[in-house]
Amino acid sequence: MIEKFADIEMLRYHVDGFEELSLKYKKFIYCLSEAALSGRDILFDQNGAYNLRIRRTLEAIYIHSTSNKSSENFLAMETYLKRIWFSSGIHHHYGCEKFIPEFTKDFLKQEMLSIDAKLLPLQEGESAKELFELLDPIIFDPEIMPKRVNKSQGEDILTTSACNYYQGVNQNKAEEYYNNLKESGGDTPISFGLNSRLVAEEGQLVEKIWKVGGLYSKAIEKIIYWLQKAIKYAEDDTQQTIIQTLINYYRTGDLRTFDEYSIQWLKDTNSFVDFTNGFIETYGDPLGLKASWESIVNYKDLEATHRTEIISKNAQWFEDHSPVKEAFKKKKVKGVSAKVITAAILAGDLYPSTAIGINLPNSEWIRALHGSKSVTISNITAAYNKASRHNGFMEEFVYSDQEKELIDKYSNLTDELHTDLHECLGHGSGQLLPGISQDALKAYGSTIEEARADLFGLYYIADTKMIELGLLPDENAYKAQYYTYIMNGLMTQLVRIKPEHQIEEAHMRNRQLIARWAYEKGRGENVIEFINRDKKTYIKINNYSALRDIFGQLLAEIQRIKSTGEYESAQSLVEDYAVKVDQTLHLEVLERYEKLKLSPYKGFINPVYNKIKDNEGNVCDITVSYDESYTDQMLRYSSDYSYLPSINE
The stretch 423-430 carries a mean pLDDT of 94
446: pLDDT strictly greater than 80? yes
The pLDDT of residue 298 = 98
Decide: 413 and 356 in contact? Cβ < 8 Å.
Answer: no
CATH of 217-601, one of 3.30.540.30, 3.40.980.10, 3.30.2320.80, 3.10.20.30: 3.30.540.30
| pLDDT > 70: percent of the chain | 100
- The answer for residues whose C-beta is within 8 angstroms of residue 474's C-beta and 6 or more apart is 467
Per-residue pLDDT of 524-566, as tens digits, reads 999 999 999 999 999 999 999 999 999 999 999 999 999 999 9
Per-residue pLDDT of 412-421, as tens digits, reads 999 999 999 9
Decide: 427 and 325 in contact? Cβ < 8 Å.
Answer: no
DSSP 91: B
SS3 287: coil
The pLDDT of residue 186 = 67
The model's pTM: 0.88
Spatial CA neighbour of 177 closest among 156, 150, 197, 160: 197
The stretch 450-454 carries a mean pLDDT of 98
Spatial CA neighbour of 56 closest among 123, 143, 142: 123
Per-residue pLDDT of 72-128, as tens digits, reads 999 999 999 999 999 999 999 998 999 999 999 999 999 999 999 999 999 999 999
**Helical H runs in 88-117?**
105-114
The stretch 509-513 carries a mean pLDDT of 98
Per-residue pLDDT of 245-286, as tens digits, reads 999 999 999 999 999 999 999 999 999 999 999 999 999 999
Per-residue pLDDT of 356-410, as tens digits, reads 899 999 998 999 899 999 999 999 999 988 888 778 999 999 999 999 999 999 9
Q: Where does residue 80 rank: exposed (0-12), middle (13-18), buried (19+ CB within 10 A)? A: buried
The stretch 506-517 carries a mean pLDDT of 97
SS3 268: coil
Does an H or E element contain 316, and which? helix 315-320
The stretch 417-441 carries a mean pLDDT of 94
Residue-range domain boundaries for the chain: 49-162, 166-209, 217-601
Per-residue pLDDT of 294-331, as tens digits, reads 999 999 998 889 899 999 999 999 999 999 999 999 99
SS3 605: strand
Per-residue pLDDT of 138-173, as tens digits, reads 999 999 999 999 988 789 999 999 999 999 999 999
DSSP 465: H
What is the chain's mean pLDDT, rounded? Answer: 96
